[in-house]
Each structure stands twice: as C-alpha cells, then as structure tokens.
Chains A and B, each alone.
Chain A
Amino acid sequence: MTLSRGTSATVPDPESFLPLHRDTFHILVSLADRDRHGYAVMQDVVERTNGKLRLSPSSLYASIRRLLEQGLIEELAERPDPAHDDERRRYYRLTQLGREIAKAEARRLERLLSDARASGLLPRRT
C-alpha cells in the first residue's frame, strides 16, 4: 500500500524546502537512480562519501519517516527486482516532489560552487 499525504490541490514549492539537511540530501541522492531499502541507502552513502558520512540506523529511519510524511519519498507496494529482492525489506522511491526538491537543492549547490569559483576560492573549470 502506498500512502501519500496531502490531497490539497496546491503542489508545494520545491524551493520552500531548501536548504536541505545534509542527511536528507544524501538519502534523496541515493534514491535518485534506483529504489533502495534502508540499509542499501546507508551503504550507498558510505561509498559515495568514502566512509566520511555514516548514517546511524536510528537517524536514517527518523529521516525516512519524515521524508515519507512530507511526501518526498514513498514506500513501494511491489518489489523492484524480484531476482535481487530481499523480501523482508521495505523499499523506498523518490516521489516527483522529492525529485524536484533534490534537483533544486543540487542546483542551489551548483550555484554556490560557481560563486566560489568566480570569487577564486576554487580553480575555474577549463
């Protein structure tokens, strides 16, 4: 069963969610290319950050609960890939809103980065 909150006609403005909390953004990024279960998200974050960021199970699920409530992610009713599926697990997927927000955050960071480059903090891209 997929539960999503909010039946109001107005779609929330993605910009209003910014800036995202570090953990939140990592979770959204992790779910951007494919649906994952909780532990897979944790592993992905560790890999992408070279082990610099380790989400604890409790903070991961606190974030997941909040993202579900805000409608940024949803829980899957059916498993993504039955062959690789670990049926004990719950899988999560980005919603359209979640994707928009993650993009908006990425764009914000990009602008920040280009500002840093323009001001000489970082070498300009060639």
Chain B
Amino acid sequence: MANVRSGERLSARAFRALLALYPAVFRDEYGRELSLAFIDRYRDASGPWDRLRLWQEALVGVLTDAPKEHARMILHDLRDASRTLRRHALVTATIVITLGLGIGANTAVFSLLNAITLRSLQPVQHGDQLYVVNSGRYVAGGPEAARLSGPMMDLLRQAAPEGVELAAMSRGIARVYTRRPSERETVPASLQLVSPSFFSVLDVSPALGRLLPEGSNASDSAETVAVLSYAYWQRRFGGSPDVVGSTIAINGASFTIVGIAERDFAGVWLETPVDIWASLTAQPIVHYSQSFTADGADFSRPWLTQSQIWWLHVIARVPSGQVSAVTNLFNASVSQLAGQTAGVVLQPVARGLSKFRQQFSLPLVVLMVMATLVLLTACANVANLLLARAVDRQRELAVRMALGAGRGRLFHQLLIESLLIVVMSGAAAVAFVRWTGNALLHVAADGPPPFPVPIDLRVLVFAASAALLSIAAFGVWPAWRATRVDPVSAFKGNGRSLQGRRARPARALVVLQVALSLTLVTATGLFARSFRELLRLDLGFEPARLLSVGIDPRLAGVPPHDLPATYRRILDDATRLAGVESAALAMCGLQGTCALEDGYRLEGYEPRTDEVVAFSVNVVTPAYFSTMGMPIIAGRALSESDLANTTSVAVVNRTLADRYFGEWRQALGRRFGLSAPNIEIVGVVEDARGITNLKAAAMPTVFVPLAQRPVVPRELEVRTSVEPAAAMAAVRRAIADAAPGMPIESMEPAVVRVQRSLGQERLMVLLTSCFSALALGLAAFGLFGIQSYAIARRTPEIGLRIALGAAPSEVVLSIVRDGLRLVLYGVLIGLPLVAIGGTLASGLVFGVSPYDPLTLAVAVVVLAIIGVTASAGPARRASRLDPMIVLRQE
C-alpha cells in the first residue's frame, strides 16, 4: 500500500512537471484540474499495464496539445496586438515608417556590400578551391593585378601535381564588334579569351551545345570557336537554339558558335560580364591587345608564345590543404624561367575579381556604420514613442492586471506588439531595398548596374537580424517599464506616477540621438567638402569643351601601311569641321590607362639597386597638348617635323622631370631610353591626373610622337568651340568618311567622364546626406516630442509663473534653453564618436582633414538650429497658456 501511495505521489509530481510545457496562462487555469484528473485515472488504473498506458496517453496528449496551446496563445496575442496597433494607427504608421527607413537604409547598404564583397562567384561550385596565381610586384595589388605570360602558364601547368587544374584567361575583357552573316551592322559585345580548361576548372557546364574543346579534341579549328554567355544568348538571340552551330564575325574574323555557358555565369570579373568566350589562340585574329605589361615584346606576333607579354590571369583549382605545397612547386618551376625570380603566391578568388570591390569596400563599411547610427537614432525615437504610449495605456494595462493578468503576460503581449511592428518594418525595408539597391549601384557606377544586387538569403537574414536587434533596442525596455504598473495609483492618480518616471530616459534618448546625428552630419560635411574639392581640382587639362572618342583603326580594314594616311585624314576632316578647334590622336587618352613600361635608363640618373624605373608611355600626335589644354611649361610641344627619320624626341610631365632630374627645368635636352638613352626631352608639360582615379598623384609620363613610334591610336581627342555634345554628330560623320567601317567605341564629352569617375564620392555624398537628413529629422522629432511632453507636464507651473507676472518671452526662453541644453549634452557625447568617425573616413576624404574643425562647427550649428526649432513650437504654445484656465483645471 505504501508502495502504491509513493508511486502515485511520484507520478503526480512527474505529471505536474510535464505541465510546464504548457503556456503559463493555460497552466494557471487548468493545471490543477489536469493533475487531479490524471491522479484519479491513476488510482482507477487496474494494474501496472494500465498505468503504463495512462502514462503513454498522458505523454502523447501533453506533447501534442501543449504546442497547440502555445500557437493559440501567440495567435491570440497577435490578434490583440494588431487590434491595438490599428487603434493607434498614426503612432503605428510613424513607428513602421521610422523603423522601415532605418532598417531599409541598413539593408540597402548591406545588399550592396553583399553583392560586391560577400557574394561568391555564380554558379561556380567549391569556389573556395579557386586561386589566382600572382607573382612579384603584382602580389600587393591583389588577384586583380596578377599577370603572367603564356610560357609561364605552360611551366605552371607542367609543375601542377595530380588533382590541381589550371586555366588561363585574358586579363582584359575586350569590346569587340560582332556581325552575323545575315546582318549589315556590327553589334558591340564583350569578349574574353580563355584556355580550353577554363570552364572545367570553374566547374561551369554548358546550357546548350558544348564548351571550348579540350585536350586531344582541340584541333586547329579551336581558335575559331566561340561560346556565348546565357544572358547574351537571351539578349541578342532571344534564346534561339539555332544559334549553336551558326557563325558569327568577331572583329571581322569568322567564328563558329559551339555552345551556351551555364545560366548565371558571366565570367570571373564581377562588374564586367562577358558575352563571348573564345580561345586564347584567337588573340591575333580578334586583334586583342589590352591589359598587359610588356618588355621588349613583338606585338605583331601571337602573344601566347611570348614570355615578354604578361597578359593572362591564371586560375588554379587546388584541393584544400594543398595550397602551400602547390605554391612551392610553382615557385621551383617558375624560377627556371630567365628573369623570373619573384615569388609565386596563390590568392583566393572565390568571390571573383572586382575593381569595384577594391574601390568600394571601405566606403561601404563606412556607410554601413553610418546606416547603423541612423537605425540607432530611429530605435531611440521608437523607444520614445512607445514610452509615451505606455503612459496612455497604463490604465488599460492596470485594468488587465487587476483582472489577474501577470506582469509576464502583459510583457509578453507588449513584446508581441513590438514584434509585429518589426515584421512590418522589416517587410517595408526589404521592399525599399528592392528598389534602392539597384538605384544605389546606378549612382555608384553612373550608369546601368553592371551586376545584379540580389535580395538573397543573406540579405534577408541581415534585415531580420537588424529588425530583431532593433526590437531588443527599442521594444524590450519600454515594455518592461510599461508593465511596472501599480493598478491602485494608476486608477487614483490618473497615471501621474509613471509620467514622472518617464521623463529622464526619454531625455537621455534624445541626447543619444543628438550625439549620433552630430557624427552623421559631420561625416556628410566632410564628404561633401571632399567632393567639392575633387570637382574643383585642377586636372592638368581642360575637360570643358573636350570631346573624347574611342576608336580602333585596326578594325577599319585598312592595310597597315595605309594607316598613317588614314590617321591624317581623320585629323584633317575633324579639324575642318565647324565648331572644332583642334584634334589629336593618342594611344591612350583620358582614362589614364597607358601601359607602364619599365626598364628605362636616364642620362645622369643612377637608380638604386631595387628601384624600378617605370614610365607611363603615351603616343600622341603633335596637337595633343593644345587639344587637351595641357600647358607646356618648358621647351616645346611635339611638332609635325618630328618624323621617323629625325631625332627621337619626347615631352615629359613635370613629375617625371622633377623626380629624375632634380628640378623640371633641368630636364630639357636630357636623354633617356630603353637600351640606350636615345630619346631627347624637348619639352615639359604640366601634370595631368588620370580620370580613373582623380585622387591619385600623376605618374611619371612620357609623350612620344606617333610618327616615331607606330602604335595603334585608340583615342581621338577633339577640342570644340561649341558644346561638345553639339559637335558629336559631325565628328561621327567625319570619322565615317575618313575611315569607312571603323567602329566608334565611345564618344563622350570629357566632363561626363570626369563626373562618372566620381561615382564613389557621389554615392558617399548622396547616401550620407540622406542618412543625415533622416537622423536630423528623427532627432528633431524626438526633441519636439520631449519638449511637448515636458510642457504638458509643467503646464501648472508655467501657468502659475505667467499668473505671477512672468513675460511670455521668459517662458519661451527657458524652454528653448532646456532644448539647447539637451543638444549640448548630445554634442559633448558625440565628439568622441566624431573623432572615431574621422579616423575611419580618413582614407575617403580628399583635400580636407578628416578632423576638420570647420565642418564640425557647422554640424554643431545645424544641431543647435534643430534644437531651437524643435523647442520653439512647444515653447510658443506654452507662452500662450491662459493662467486662469490652467489653474482652474488644477
């Protein structure tokens, strides 16, 4: 009997413990009844088997019913919460918009950060096994800067152990002109030359047809087959399967399209999608010649076999754990190659290559920090609104408490409300980002986004985490405070007791907002000033009324010996146009992408043993300097009389002259050259900045006459007397007349190019301005709220003071002074934040100190104005109080 009793007690206790799985409300209501029913059944059980069965039923019952009860509770709370939120529609909308903007700003920046720096190469499998082989002085530039020659790649391939695969691709993605047999006009496309193993190393399969022939299948015809990207196939051919097997002319040479690459694969360069892939051996027939470094090379011969032209990116797929062993093998192998002693390094390329990433990583991190500050400001506001609403709701909460709802239950209910708000805000934010993500990239790239800004799982998780963090920041604390209701005083004192307690945290939140806003406004000021400095920068040439035209005379079908006459015709025809002052041809123009040539020797200059003497070399026609608006500061410009059979001459820029001849005036008449110093410096020209990076100081640059160095000029510069846009049609016609069939790659006023190169700065200014405006608005709103509230609370006091003869202006002043005091505290707290921000942003500002006191002062003044404005409204209302009415109310 005693055993039965103790078994019963044990079972009862175990069952009660099991009931903990139910929500507290259900347990409180039915827990006891459930236990009693269980014990009754236990007693009625007719033996151990029956008792076991009872336990089984009880377990299954509780385990299935408890989750249902929880779900029901949550649903119930959600219904209640949505009803409450609907009842306070205005406050709810304000909160959702505020938070939506805050989370949206963060998510927008994050989606950009995700697309540029976090997303891995699509649709490549095991991208973490992919490495770019880099070497020597290009290692510091990251995988983007890597460059190897064809023979080097062959050596590496021989050295590669079993299981390590290598692929090569041209460093550049060339703009080419394509034409199908049925078409009359050529269509531009982007082409990359790749090794046969390219697709297999990247693990890309064909969507249709096949990819480039590999191994023993590679026949002589390999050099004339092409693979299209899926996107290009869709765009140009509407996804027609007949395309496979058909021919297409690329820069005049006929290719057979053998297949379409896997969907979503657009090459390894993030911002430059590839339309067509062809074999590396096709280099001479498509006239590929870009993104290379060369030293004593013969450009007229195929590049792939020359060890002096470094034009390839080599990608290795290395199984994990073998990287250092493979690196050692590669180093041993490469050292056989003459003149190649520099160490080989494998650099991971799982996320693809991107100049954008290099350029935008730091700005995006800074923007991310700023967006977080905005979100914090928003959270502070929302917390304030919720605190204020808690005051309104304390009677409701007191009633519910009096009816038996526990504090935990009320807290739960308020949290559910916050959660609902967060879900709505998060949804608003994601919708916001769908639109802004691409728009931001549009601003950064100053054109259509070169790659998609996807809203993928990572972005959604980020938005959700931002939302959850916000709820932690703004929801939990107000809810906890709100549930500190004392029903008795709530009914008796009309809620005054809580109001008194509310003021201090609310004021602290406003101070925090001011501090965060100060940081944001100062940063915006810095970026705006930096942007203005860049706009006012002396570029060293005159971009206004300059038209820049990209051409490729090799594609005009002119025999090489006729090219000089063609150049002459183009220049003469262009110069003769009405509205054109002068015109010049250059090997490379505004973009500043002239190849760096090293190995130069200068008369009277002894380089240090480890010093590389490298110049940027441009080949130009004589009118180049006057056309560009580059002033000659010593000697003369190049002239028509500098010909192939006269003395080799050059004009150098000020940086070169200063660096190698001590002082630029000393450079005149000195000589330099590759094997022997045989080129005479006849003039020194002012430094000009490269358009791709205006912040960078000028490189040592040499200008040699086209007549003395026959290269292919790729740029025509036209100085106009009218708006350059107005001359564009005429210039286009003149080129078509002078060189029929020559494609015009681009034609833009130089001013447009300068502006485009400021994409990063523009993005910073635009976004930080938006962020600051948002934060200022929120801070003003918060301050306004707190002041209105303070006045409501002090109404009797103010009424009394007015009744005792205080002037309205005194009342206004005291309230405004109070607002300014909050601003002052905020500024004091914000100063260290500003200092930290300055350090973070120091790499991004130009021509202004990151700790610029003037900018800070302006920011403080802006905040003071906000402080006065936000206080003035409530203050004026207070000063108009009728003391009689106020006192009678009391």
Contact = CB atoms under 8 A, between A and B. Distances in A.
A104 B79 CA distance: 31
A23 to B, nearest CB: 11
B71 to A, nearest CB: 12
Interface string B647-665: 0000000000000000000
9 contacts: A37-B33, A39-B40, A39-B41, A56-B57, A56-B58, A58-B62, A59-B64, A59-B65, A61-B30
A42 B44 CA distance: 12
Instruction: Name the residue among A38, A43, A61, A64 with the largest chain B CB count within 10 angstroms.
Output: A61
A42 B41 contact: yes
Nearest to B22: A58
Contacts of A89: 33, 36
B640 interface: no
A56 to B, nearest CB: 3
Nearest to B66: A58
Interface in B1-51: 26, 29-30, 32-34, 36-38, 40-41, 44
Interface in A26-83: 37-39, 42-43, 54, 56-62, 64-65
A88 B33 CA distance: 9
Instruction: Name the residue among A38, A57, A58 with the largest chain B CB count within 10 angstroms.
Output: A58
Contacts of A61: 30, 33-34, 37
Contacts of B32: 88
Nearest to B33: A38
- Interface majority SS on A: helix, strand, loop or mixed? helix
B69 interface: yes
B41 A58 contact: no
B488 to A, nearest CB: 22
B40 A58 contact: no
Contacts of A39: 36-37, 40-41
B60 to A, nearest CB: 7
Given A58-B62, A59-B64, A90-B33, 16 more contacts: A38-B33, A38-B37, A39-B41, A56-B58, A56-B60, A57-B37, A57-B38, A57-B41, A58-B34, A59-B65, A61-B33, A61-B37, A62-B65, A65-B29, A65-B30, A89-B33
Which 7 interchain pairs have the tightest Cβ spacing?
Answer: A56-B61, A58-B61, A57-B37, A58-B65, A56-B57, A39-B37, A61-B30
Instruction: Name the residue among A43, A62, A64 with the largest chain B CB count within 10 angstroms.
Output: A62
Contact of A65 (B26, B60, B61): B26
Contacts of A56: 57-58, 60-61
B496 interface: no
A61 B26 CA distance: 9
Interface of B: 26, 29-30, 32-34, 36-38, 40-41, 44, 57-58, 60-62, 64-66, 68-69
A65 B30 CA distance: 9
Contact of A54 (B30, B34, B57, B62): B57
A62 B69 contact: yes
A54 B37 CA distance: 12
B38 to A, nearest CB: 5
A64 B37 contact: no
Nearest to A56: B61
A90 B33 CA distance: 8
Nearest to B56: A56
A89 B44 CA distance: 17
A39 B38 CA distance: 8
A54 B61 CA distance: 11
Given A64-B30, A65-B29, A59 B61 contact: yes
- Interface majority SS on B: helix, strand, loop or mixed? helix
A30 B450 CA distance: 73
Given A39-B41, A42-B41, A65-B26, A58 B33 contact: no
B37 A60 contact: yes
Nearest to B29: A65
Instruction: Name the residue among A42, A56, A57, A90 with the largest chain B CB count within 10 angstroms.
Output: A57
Instruction: Name the residue among B29, B65, B66, B68 with the largest chain A CB count within 10 angstroms.
Output: B65
Instruction: Name the residue among A56, A60, A62, A90 with the largest chain B CB count within 10 angstroms.
Output: A56
Nearest to A66: B72
B821 to A, nearest CB: 52
Contacts of B34: 38, 57-58, 61
A63 to B, nearest CB: 10
A58 B36 contact: no
Contacts of B26: 65
Instruction: Name the residue among B38, B40, B58 with the largest chain A CB count within 10 angstroms.
Output: B40
A39 B41 CA distance: 8
A57 B61 contact: yes
A57 B58 contact: yes
A56 B66 CA distance: 13
A46 to B, nearest CB: 9
B833 to A, nearest CB: 53
A60 B44 CA distance: 17
B29 A58 contact: no
Contacts of A60: 37
A62 B27 CA distance: 11
B67 to A, nearest CB: 11
Given A56-B57, A59-B61, A61-B30, A88 B36 contact: yes
Contacts of A58: 34, 58, 61-62, 64-66
Contacts of B36: 38-39, 88-89
Nearest to B31: A61
A42 B37 contact: yes
Contacts of B62: 58
Contacts of A38: 33-34, 36-37
B674 to A, nearest CB: 91
Contacts of A65: 26, 29-30
Nearest to A58: B61
A42 B29 CA distance: 19
A89 B34 CA distance: 10
A54 B30 CA distance: 19
Contacts of B66: 58
A65 B73 CA distance: 12
Contacts of B33: 37-38, 61, 89-90
Contacts of B40: 39
A62 to B, nearest CB: 5
A77 to B, nearest CB: 16
A89 B32 CA distance: 9
A57 B35 CA distance: 8
A57 B64 CA distance: 12
A43 B36 CA distance: 13
Contacts of A54: 57
A22 to B, nearest CB: 15
B80 to A, nearest CB: 14
Contacts of A37: 33
A88 to B, nearest CB: 7
A38 B31 CA distance: 12
A42 B38 CA distance: 10
Instruction: Name the residue among B37, B38, B57, B62 with the largest chain A CB count within 10 angstroms.
Output: B37
Contacts of A43: 44
B144 to A, nearest CB: 64
A54 B69 CA distance: 21
Nearest to B34: A57
A78 B37 CA distance: 20
B580 to A, nearest CB: 85
Nearest to B58: A56
A59 B62 CA distance: 8
A34 B236 CA distance: 82
A88 B34 CA distance: 12
Contacts of A90: 33
Nearest to B18: A58
Contacts of B29: 65
Instruction: Name the residue among A39, A64, A88, A89 with the largest chain B CB count within 10 angstroms.
Output: A39
